Amino acid sequence: MAELNNILAANKEYSGGFKHGTLAIPPSRKLAVLACMDARLTVEDFLGLGTGDAHIIRNAGGIATDDAIRSLIISHELLGTQEFLVVNHTDCGMLTFTDEELQKKLTQKYKADASGLKFHSFPNLEQNVRNQVDKIKSTPFLPKDIPVYGFTYDVRTGKLGRVI
């Protein structure tokens, strides 16, 4: 409850000086970003984006799941984005376990079969970025010529590295 009170107090202060109420629905820079949910990533800051500039889609590992691809399709088809970025990061928790390990742990802990859950863990950061870029590029519901760029973000230095 303590965090909820902090959040509500912060929102009261934020809304008192709110200035984004007239922004257009489509992102002004025609960009969509798929990134990890890691709390150390301030995606807008390290990409130089402001409110209204881009769609930011986040999940554990920055994975091009069906839901992330659904969001990218909506972003492009209905809201005009023309470029996509995939951003993974160093020191990612998704590198520290396997799906099978977590499935087994959950099955034992909750006495329910977790073998069907997909967590999309991965052993190699750069290869994961390539896999996500390839998955986005291979969807039949996005144009083949839409640019999809892959990057790693270094949580120690704040620098982006292009993955080719």
Domain for residue 4, yes or no?
A: no
Of the candidates 16, 161, 15, 2, the residue with the CA atom closest to the CA atom of residue 89? 161
| CATH number of the structural domain spanning residue 52 | 3.40.1050.10
The residue range of the domain holding 38 is 26-163
DSSP letter (8 states) at residue 49: -
Domain for residue 124, yes or no?
A: yes
DSSP letter (8 states) at residue 55: E
Cβ-based neighbours of 118, under 8 Å, separated by 6 or more: 99
Cα 100 to Cα 59, 114, 123, 158, distances in angstroms:
19, 9, 13, 32
Q: Based on the structure, what is the number of domains in the chain?
A: 1
Domain for residue 13, yes or no?
A: no
Domain for residue 99, yes or no?
A: yes
Domain for residue 43, yes or no?
A: yes
Domain for residue 6, yes or no?
A: no
Cβ-based neighbours of 74, under 8 Å, separated by 6 or more: none
Q: What is the pLDDT along the chain (164 residues), one digit of tens a residue?
A: 789 999 999 999 999 999 999 999 999 999 999 999 999 999 999 999 999 999 999 999 999 999 999 999 999 999 999 999 999 999 999 999 999 999 999 999 999 999 999 999 999 999 999 999 999 999 999 999 999 999 999 999 999 999 98
